[in-house]
Every structure is written in structure tokens, then in C-alpha cells.
Amino acid sequence: MTTENISFATCLKSLRKEHKLTIRELAERSDTSHSYLSQLENSRRNPPKPTMIKQLSKGLSGNDDSKFLRVYNLLMKEAGYNIDWQVYDEVYQDSTGKILKQATSPEFVKATFNHNVEMPIYLNSNNEGCFYFFNDDGPFPDDIQEKLRLMIKTILD
């Protein structure tokens, strides 16, 4: 039994209790068995793969997208995984199951900001990217967007 197993087990059990779920309820919501969850919570299994962590996170957070991020980040960290933008792209979905990308989901960006998650921006070899800037009032006007993109390109060139 490694320290990683214990940390993950403690985190999972704590999150389950925080959300007032029994092992059987979480198992049903996560599409897994209650015996498997019990083994995880008692450090008798290694931390699961990211796909199972995604299922557990969905089960723990219900349809609350901002809770999903918090739970997912905690479980991934305790399982010893390095969280990067590709993981977010693959796993973040809204309550309808539609995959949301950073550039198309202000809610996702706000949720990650509120949880101190850094949001990477992909730039091609010409230092050009597909992104936009916004605040609580909505996206900045197109002319400001273009100036900000140009500033970033200029700094990096």
C-alpha cells in the first residue's frame, strides 16, 4: 500500500461523505460496483485510471459543472496524475454530455478561474491562436479582441 493509495482513498471517502452519498449511491451514480468503491476507499486498490476518476467525479458532482471540476482536480491530484489541458478537453462535458472546449465555454473558463486552475492557450508556430477574451459582462468587442491577439503575437515574435 503506497501513500498515494491512502491519499486517494481518504480524498474519495471525504468527498463522498461531503456530498452525503453512501457507497452504493455513489456506485450507482458512477456506473461502477459498490465493492470496487469500498476497495478504493480502504486502500485495497490502486488509484483508478482517469476515465474512472471522471465517472467518480460525475457521480459525486451530479449535474453541477463547477463541482465537477473541483472534484475531478482533487481526485486526479490525489491519484498522482499530472493535469494538463488535454485531460480537460477530453473530460469536461456539460450536463447534456456535450463536450465543451475552453474557447467555446465561458462557464468552463470561469469555473477553472474560480478554482485556481491555469488555462493553457494553444498557439501555432506563427504565434497565432484561437481564443477570445471576456469578463463578467461578456466578450470584449471585436476590435479589442484583435488588439489583444496582436499584442500577444507581438510579444512572442
What average pLDDT is seen over the chain? 75
Q: Which residues pair with 134 in a beta bridge?
A: 139
Q: Report which secondary-structure segment, H or E, holds 139.
A: strand 138-139
Predicted confidence at residue 21, as pLDDT, reads 95
pLDDT of 12 over the 90 cut = yes
The torsion angle over the Cα atoms of residues 103, 107, 109 and 113, rounded to 10 degrees, is: 170
Residue 123 DSSP SS3:
strand
| Rounded distance between C-alpha atoms, residue 84 and residue 70, angstroms | 15
Predicted confidence at residue 104, as pLDDT, reads 40
pLDDT of 58 over the 80 cut = yes
Q: Which residues pair with 93 in a beta bridge?
A: 99
pLDDT of 61 over the 70 cut = yes
Q: DSSP secondary-structure letter at 99?
A: B
pLDDT of 60 over the 70 cut = yes
Indicate the range of 25-34, 49-58, 131-140 predicted with least confidence.
Answer: 131-140
Question: Left (φ > 0), alpha (ψ -120 to 50) or beta: where does 121 sit?
Answer: beta
pLDDT of 36 over the 60 cut = yes
pLDDT in tens, 83-136: 644 344 444 445 555 444 443 455 555 655 555 555 556 666 666 665 667 777
pLDDT of 2 over the 80 cut = no
Predicted confidence at residue 96, as pLDDT, reads 55
Question: Is the pTM higher than 0.75?
Answer: no
Predicted confidence at residue 31, as pLDDT, reads 94
- Residue 23 corresponds to which amino acid? I
- Given the DSSP bridges, would you call strands 138-139 and 134-135 parallel, antiparallel or unpaired? antiparallel
